[in-house]
Amino acid sequence: MSVLFGLLWPLERFNTAVLAIGRVIAVIALAIMVALILGQVFFRYVLSDAPNWTEEGARFGMLWMTGLMAPLAYRMGGFVSIDMLERALPRVISAVLTLILLIIMLWVLVIAWERGLNNHVDTLSGRGCSSSLRWPFGIEIGKCGAKFQNNFQYASLWVGVNILILVNIELMIRQVIKLLGQGDRLNPLSAEDFAGAD
């Protein structure tokens, strides 16, 4: 049991820190989205001359916001599912079922991780350059120069999958601890800021 708690402690700390940072970035991304879209509306309808990159920029923000917030939602149990069966079953069988579900989810995530890296982020299209997004102030990076590399947005989902895997492993360890009857020693995963998100 102490081995499990020993494994859980660093992972829990790490996930909490990463998710907190991700949350801040996601909030900033949302703020940028709002600013860009408001700017676009102003330019289009007041000045009749909208810049072509605001839509792409806002979508960039949304992709990263989604990628970084999905693991947080997952950790708080925010993914839509039907929990009728889990509730109806006796405690031990229900805990075993949850563990099996977590294993299936880990399997899906590991496949997504591998295909996401090799068949999406690190591909010809991923290494290609964005048609409209450019670095500001004449900054030039890598072979795309002033343009954004497509990877920068493709990576959002893949980074999300990475954090989801970490969260999934944490949830699996927690589930095993619960199954062994030590669930009351676990720190509760706070959901106070998460209410009403759906």
Start-to-end Cα distance in the chain = 36
Decide: helix, strand or coil at residue 170: helix
Site for other proteins in 91-150 (CB under 8 A): 97-98, 101, 104-105, 107-108, 111-112, 115-116, 118-120
Helix (H), strand (E) at residue 74: helix 54-75
Query: What's the closest the beta carbon of residue 4 comes to other proteins, in angstroms?
Result: 23
Burial readout 111-135 (b: 16 or more C-beta within 10 A, e: otherwise): ebeeebbeebbeeeebeebbeebbe
Site map 178..197 versus other proteins, x via CB under 8 A? -----------------xxx
Distances (CA, A) of 5 to 24, 102, 133, 172, 177: 28, 18, 46, 12, 8
Q: How far is the CB of 16 from other proteins (least distance, A)?
A: 21
Contact between 33 and other proteins (CB under 8 A)? yes
In the window 146-175, what residues touch other proteins (CB under 8 A)? 153-154, 156-157
The residue from 85, 96, 180, 191 that contacts other proteins (CB under 8 A) is 85
Could you say whether residue 42 binds other proteins (CB under 8 A)? Answer: no
Q: Would you state the structure tokens that stand for residue 189, as one six-digit string?
A: 């995963």
Please report where in the chains the tokens 């997952």 appear, as a residue. Answer: 74
With respect to other proteins, which residue has the nearer C-beta, 28 or 34? 34
Joined together, the tokens standing for residue 60 give 């960039």
Residues that bind other proteins (CB under 8 A): 30, 33-34, 37, 55, 58-59, 62-63, 65-66, 74, 79-86, 97-98, 101, 104-105, 107-108, 111-112, 115-116, 118-120, 153-154, 156-157, 195-198
